[in-house]
Amino acid sequence: MPTEVQEQTLTFEELMASLKEMHRLILWNDDHNTFDHVIHCMIKYLDYSESQAEKIAWKVHNEGKCAVLEGSFTEMEVYRKILQQEGLTVSVE
């Protein structure tokens, strides 16, 4: 099942301001990804240990979302796109 990806256009000023701010990558709970898939993605793409990845999966399941990474907007966008391609529901705040 293909994942729909929306593109976002930023002005130069917005882009430069976003580089100075810290942003968070948020993983959201959904009804179609398994615990195993979420754990696999956290280990493969974000370099979490299996134990850390399991804690993230449970937090997302119980609380609806979890911040999984922090950094520049550009860096978070790269990871957002990667995880979305894996079918995960993620956003940048």
**Is residue 4 within 8 Å of 53, Cβ to Cβ?**
no
* Rounded Cα–Cα distance for residues 60 and 29 (Å): 5
* Rounded Cα–Cα distance for residues 57 and 60 (Å): 5
User: For residue range 64-86, what is the model confidence (pLDDT) as tens digits?
Assistant: 999 999 998 899 999 999 999 99
State residue 10's pLDDT score: 76
pTM for the complete prediction?
0.78
Q: Is the pLDDT of residue 5 over 70?
A: no
State residue 81's pLDDT score: 97
State residue 8's pLDDT score: 74
Q: Are strands 23-28 and 65-71 parallel, antiparallel or unpaired?
A: antiparallel
Question: How many residues comprise the chain?
Answer: 93
Closest CA to 1 of 61, 82, 62, 87: 87
User: For residue range 9-63, what is the model confidence (pLDDT) as tens digits?
Assistant: 878 887 776 666 789 999 999 999 999 999 999 999 999 999 999 999 999 999 9
